[in-house]
Amino acid sequence: MALPGSRGLWLAATSTATVKDMTKTLEGRIAVVTGASSGIGAATAQRLAEAGAQVAVVARRAERLEALEGVLPIAADISNPDDVQRVADTVRAELGRVDLVVANAGVMLGAPYESADVAEWERMLDVNLRGLLHTGRAFVEDLLATAEADGRADLVHVSSVASHIAFPNYAVYAATKAGVSHLTRNLRTEYGPRGVRVKTVEPGVVMTELGDDMTDPAALAVLDQLREMKTLEAGDIADAIVYAVSAPAHVNVAELIVVPTAQG
C-alpha cells in the first residue's frame, strides 16, 4: 500500500505486483536505454515508460525499436563513439536533458580461450566495455546538471553475476562484466558526492536472445545447461531497475544481484 509522500511511492514500487499499478513514479524523468531492441533493454524501456518517464531507446535494429510503444527510437551502434554522440545530441534535441541512463547493450560470445575467434573478444570489449564507457560519458554532463538542479540522476550499468562467479568457456565475457562492475564502484566515488547514483544490476540467467549468435559448441552446451532451470524473464530485471531508480534521492541501490531462485 502506498503511504503519503515519496517514500510511500517508493515502497509501492518495491512490490513487483504493484509496479504497473502505482505507475508514474518516474514522471518528469528523461531516460535512455541502450540495447533496447530485445530482452532486458526492451522490457526496461517499457517499464520506465509505464512509470511515466520519457524514454529514448537505442540499438542497431531500427525495426525492433520502432515496434516499441511510446518511446523515441534511435538506431545506433554503441561501439562507434560517433554514433553514441549522435544519440546524445538527438535525445537532447527531442526530449531534453537526460537524468536516467541504462547502459544495457551487451553481447556474449563464449568459447574456449585457446580456440576463440579473437574478433569475438574484440566485439565483446567494444560493446560491453567501450560502448558502455562512451554511453556514460556522452550523458554524464546531463546527469550532473540534473543532480544539481533536481537532486537526482541515475547511471545504471547492466553487468552480470558472471562478474563474480566462474563458468568454463566464458572467461572473456566475464572479464568484460567484471570490468563493468568495478568501473561502477569506482565511478560511485566520483559521482555519488555530486548527487549522481551510479549503480550496477547484475542478472543471473535470463531467457533472452543473448548468446543466440554463439557458434562454439562447448559454450552453447554450458548455456543450454543453465537454461534448463526456471530462469528469470527480462521483465524481472526491468522491475529491479525500476525499483532501484525509484528510491528516494539519498538512497543508491548500488549493486543489485538478481538471480533465478534455482540458480542459488
Ligand X SMILES: NC(=O)c1ccc[n+]([C@@H]2O[C@H](COP(=O)([O-])OP(=O)(O)OC[C@H]3O[C@@H](n4cnc5c(N)ncnc54)[C@H](OP(=O)(O)O)[C@@H]3O)[C@@H](O)[C@H]2O)c1
Q: Which residues bind ligand X (CB under 6 A)?
A: 34-41, 59-61, 64, 77-79, 104-108, 127, 158, 160, 203, 205-206, 208-210, 234
CB of 133 to ligand X, least distance (A): 13
CA distance 16 to 78: 31
CB of 198 to ligand X, least distance (A): 16
For the question of residue 173 being annotated catalytic, the response is yes
Pairing of strands 30-34, 100-103: parallel
Measuring CA to CA, which residue among 160, 233, 171 is closest to residue 200? 160
CB closer to ligand X, 22 vs 78: 78
CB closer to ligand X, 3 vs 165: 165
* Residue among 113, 170, 173, 191 flagged as catalytic: 173
SS3 label, residue 175: helix
Pairing of strands 196-203, 255-258: parallel
CB of 250 to ligand X, least distance (A): 28
- Which run of H or of E encompasses 34? strand 30-34
CB of 210 to ligand X, least distance (A): 3
CB closer to ligand X, 13 vs 162: 162
Answer whether 198's CB lies under 8 Å from 188's CB. Answer: yes
CB closer to ligand X, 26 vs 162: 162
Tell me which DSSP letter residue 58 carries: E
CA dihedral 142, 149, 71, 64 (to 10 degrees): 30
**Residues acting as catalytic residues:** 173
